[in-house]
Amino acid sequence: MYLGGRWQPPTGDGVIEVVSPHTEAVIARLAAPATADVDAAVLAAREAFDHGPWQRTPVTERVAAIRDLAERYTAREPEIAALVTAEMGAPVRFSRSAHARLPGVMMRALADVAAGFPWEETRPGYLGADVLVTHEPVGVVAAIVPWNMPVFLTVAKLIPALLAGCSVVLKPSPETPLDAYVMAELLSESGIPPGVVSILPGDGALGAHLVAHPGVDKVSFTGSTAAGRQVAAACAPALRRVSLELGGKSAAVVLDDADPEKVAAGAQVSALMNGGQACVAQTRILVPRSRYREHVEALSEMVWTLRVGDPADEATDIGPLVSARQRDRVHGYLEIGLREGAKAVVGGPGAPPGCERGWYVRPTLFTEVTPDMRIAREEIFGPVITVLGYDGDDEAVALADSTEYGLSGSVWSADPGRALAVARRLHSGTIGINAAYSMDPVAPFGGVKASGIGREFGREGLAGYLTTKSVSGM
C-alpha cells in the first residue's frame, strides 16, 4: 500500500475484492489497510508537515509540482477511464470525459488558482501600524472520497490541499480503489516529498478511525448526508475543521416558455449522468401544469431510447449501478414510488432486457408525483426521474426549495434574464441556466442545508485548506 509516500506492506492480512458491476466477477484483489496502517499514515503526515520541506516550499514550486503531476496524469487518462468503467460501471464515454479527462483539467486549473491566490497582504492599520495578513496551510488533512466520482473527487481534495502545503491521508472507497493506485503511482514519480501523501482505501470503520484521529487537523468528506452528520459529530469534540459535500435532491425548474425537447436533452445529462449516481443529479423536473403533457412526452422519449448495457460498449448510455446493495436500494425506491401512487410511464422495477446478470436498473420516469412522496424528497442515487407540476414562478421556487437539500439545480427558459431572476431566488449552492450545472474549476462548489458545509474549487476551495494569521505592529 502507498503509505507515507512509499510502497509498503500492510500490517494485517485483510483483502479488498473489487467486483465488476457488469459481470459480478472479482476483477482485482488488494491489501486492506488496518487501523495500525492509518496510525502510521497520520504519523508520517504529521512528521512531514511539522518537520518536512513541503509546507516550507515556495508556492511557485508547489504549483510547478502539481503542473508536472497533471502532465503525468494526462498520459494515463485512457487507463484511468478503463479502470473506472471496470470498477464502478460508468459507461466508457462518460468515463473518458468526466472520470478521466476532467480531473486533469481540474489539476491545471487549480494550479492556476494557487498561482494567483493572495497568499499575503499588508493592510493599512486602522489604529496606525500596518497589519500583515498571511494564509498558511492548515496541517494534516484526512480526505475521504466516495465511489461515484472517485478520481474527480480525489483531485478536488488532494490537489488544493497539496497546493496549500498540507499533508494528506486519502481514503478512497473500497468499491473503487484501482484508480487511486494509479494516482499513488503518479505521486511516487513526482516531486512530492515522502510522507506528504498516503492513500489507504477502506470501509466506513477505517474512515471513522481516520476522522477521529488526534493527529488530523482537518477533515474533507464527500458522501451521504447521514454519514456527513457522523463525521461532523466526530470532529466536534476536538473542534477539528471539517468540510462536507453531501447529498442532493436537485430540481430543474422549467419555466413556461422553455422548449420541451431541449429540456429533455438536458435532463439526460443533468439527471442521468453516471447512471444517476451523482449528488448533483437533477432528478426532480418541475414543469408548468399548462405544458405538463408536452414535457412528459419529450422526457419519456428520451428515457425510452436510452441504451442500457455493457459499460465498455461505446453505444451504452446507462451502465450498471456500483453494487448489488445500490441496485436493491434503487429497486426499493421504484416500488415505493408505485405504492405512493406515482406512475412509471417508462421503466419501473426489474432488470432491463438482456441485463439479467450485473447490477442493472431500468431507467425510470415517474409522473403524477406529489411533493410529499418519498421519491420526490429522498436521494435515490440511480436512473430515476420524477416530474412534478406547478402553477406560477412562486410555486416553482417553493417546490424547488421544499426538500432538506440545496446542492445543485437549473432553470430553463427562452429568456435568460428571466431564468437568472428565478435562479437568484433558489436556495441552492450551484445553479445552471439552460444547462446542467457546470463544475468550472474557478467556481466554488458546494451546498446549503443538508447538502453540506464549505466549498470546493476556486479560491474558496483553496482557502478551505488554509488558516489565516494576522501580524500587527509593523
Asked if 26 and 174 sit in the same domain, the reply is yes
pLDDT > 90? residue 288: yes
Identify whether residues 336 and 259 lie together within a single domain: yes
Are 69 and 187 contained in the same domain? Answer: yes
pLDDT at 438 over 80: no
What pLDDT, on the 0 to 100 scale, is given for residue 150?
Answer: 98
Asked if residue 310 and residue 269 are part of one domain, the reply reads: yes
The span from the CA of 179 to the CA of 170, in Å, is: 13
Q: Looking at the predicted structure, is the pLDDT value of residue 465 above 90? A: yes
- Is residue 443 assigned to a domain? no
Q: What is the pLDDT of residues 264-287, one digit of tens each?
A: 999 999 999 999 999 999 999 999
Q: How many other CB atoms are found less than 10 A from the CB of residue 103?
A: 26
CA atoms within 13 A on the CB side of 2: 26
Task: Inform me whether the pLDDT recorded for 437 exceeds 90.
Answer: no
Q: For residue 68, what is the domain's CATH number?
A: 3.40.605.10
Q: Which three cell numbers stand for residue 373?
A: 412522496
Radius of gyration of the chain (CA): 23
- pTM of the model as a whole: 0.96
Q: With bands split at pLDDT 50, 70 and 90, how would you rate the model's confidence at 439?
A: confident
Regarding whether 261 and 408 lie in a shared domain, the answer is yes
- Does 222 share its domain with 279? no
Taking 80 as the threshold, does the pLDDT of residue 436 lie above it? no
pLDDT over threshold 90, residue 299 = yes
Q: Could you report the per-residue pLDDT of 164-184, keeping only the tens digit for each?
A: 999 999 999 999 999 999 999
pLDDT at 303: 98
- Report yes or no on 137 lying in a domain: yes
> Where residue 403 falls among pLDDT bands split at 50, 70, 90?
very high
- 371 shares a domain with 305: yes
Name, in order, each residue with C-beta under 8 angstroms of 144's C-beta and a sequence gap of 6 or more: 170, 171, 207, 210, 211, 219, 220, 221, 222, 223, 231
Residues 11 and 37 in one domain: yes
Q: Rounded mean pLDDT of 305-327? A: 97
Q: How far apart are CA 147 and CA 127, in angstroms?
A: 52
Q: Is 166 a catalytic residue?
A: no
Cβ neighbours of residue 225 closer than 8 Å, sequence gap 6 or more: 246, 247, 379, 404, 405, 450, 451
Give residue-wise pLDDT tens across range 32-63.
Answer: 999 999 999 999 999 999 999 999 999 999 99
Residue 140: inside a domain: yes
How confident is the model over 93-116, as pLDDT tens digits?
999 999 999 999 999 999 999 999
Separation of alpha carbons 48 and 165, rounded Å: 10
**Residues 55 and 393 sit within 8 Å (Cβ to Cβ):** no
Residue 265 lies in a domain: yes
- Asked whether residue 99 is domain-assigned, the answer is yes
C-alpha cell, 345: 410511464
Domain that holds residue 16: 2-246+449-472
**Does the residue 439 lie in any domain?**
no
Choosing from 245, 368, 379, 456, the catalytic residue is: 245
The stretch 222-242 carries a mean pLDDT of: 97
Residue 455 has pLDDT above 90, yes or no: yes
Helix (H, G, I), strand (E, B) or coil at 411: strand
**Residue 279 bears catalytic tag:** yes
Cα gap 437→372, rounded to integer Å:
26
The verdict on 199 and 296 lying in the same domain is: no
| Domain-embedded: residue 441 | no
Q: pLDDT grade, residue 329 (50/70/90)?
A: very high
d(CA 171, CA 44): 15
Q: What span, in angstroms and rounded, lies between the C-alpha atoms of 266 and 88?
A: 24
Q: What's the length of the chain?
A: 474
CB contact at 8 A, 41 and 198? yes
- The CATH number given to whatever domain includes residue 255 is 3.40.309.10
Q: At a CB cut-off of 8 Å and minimum separation 6, what does 189 contact?
A: 72
In angstroms, how far is the first alpha carbon of the chain from the final one?
48
Q: Which of 409, 459, 448 is nearest to 246 (CA)?
A: 448
The total of structural domains in the chain comes to 2
Asked if residue 444 is part of any domain, the answer here is no
When pLDDT is averaged across residues 158-163 and rounded to a whole number, the result is 98
Rounded Cα–Cα distance for residues 384 and 350 (Å): 13
Q: Are 135 and 463 in contact (CB under 8 A)?
A: yes
Same domain? For 237 and 285 the reply is no
Q: Find the catalytic residue in 235, 279, 368, 456.
A: 279
241 and 168 in a single domain? The answer is yes
Kindly give the interhelix angle for 150-164 and 59-74, rounded to the nearest 10 degrees. Answer: 160
pLDDT at 280: 96
**Above pLDDT 70, what percent of the chain?**
100
Average pLDDT over residues 432-456: 92
Q: What is the pLDDT of residue 191?
A: 85
pLDDT score recorded for residue 236: 97
- The half-sphere exposure of 179 on its side-chain side, counting CA atoms within 13 A, is 33
Mean pLDDT, the chain, as a whole number?
96
pLDDT at 198: 98
Within this chain, do residues 426 and 466 fall inside the same structural domain, yes or no? no
